[in-house]
Amino acid sequence: MNLGLHSARPRRRPSLTPMIDVVFLLLVFFMLASRFGVETVISLPLASGGGSYSGPPRVVEVLPEGLRLNGLPLSDAALPEQIRRLTDSAEDIIILRAGAEAPLQRVVTVGSALRSAGFSRMVLIE
């Protein structure tokens, strides 16, 4: 009586090709995910307390309706001349304060106008 428990065919071995593919994919993934470069450290100077300032204030407020220099209304054309009266050199710091509703392009335009007038040091505050 033949129950078919023993077959004449030899047993098939499982294929190792898919496992090798997975191993190579993992190898490629970890090679791409790792860092090969050397990190460089940039040493930055620590902030220190600034000295006291005794000169005239130079605060330019940029508002949607116009400009103000130290709280007084001012036209765009008169800004460089008025700033020159308050500064000793072009290296003096000018503070730009952007109003809450002032468009960003207006702030950039005022900064560019001051830069083209020779002033290179500006601080933008909120």
The DSSP result for 55-121, as a single string, is S---EEEEETTEEEETTEEE-TTTHHHHHHHH-SSTTS-EEEEE-TT--HHHHHHHHHHHHHTT---
What domains, with CATH codes, occur in the chain?
A: 59-125 (3.30.420)
Measured at the alpha carbon of residue 93, what is the angle toward residues 87 and 99, in degrees to the nearest 5?
110
| Residues 6 or more apart whose Cβ sits within 8 Å of residue 106 | 62, 64
pTM for the model: 0.55
Please compute, for residue 51, the number of CA atoms within 13 A of its CA located in the half-sphere on the CB side: 3
Residue-wise pLDDT tens for the chain (126 aa)?
566 566 667 788 888 899 999 999 999 999 888 877 767 676 766 766 666 666 677 899 999 888 999 889 999 889 888 888 888 887 888 889 998 888 888 998 998 888 888 888 888 887
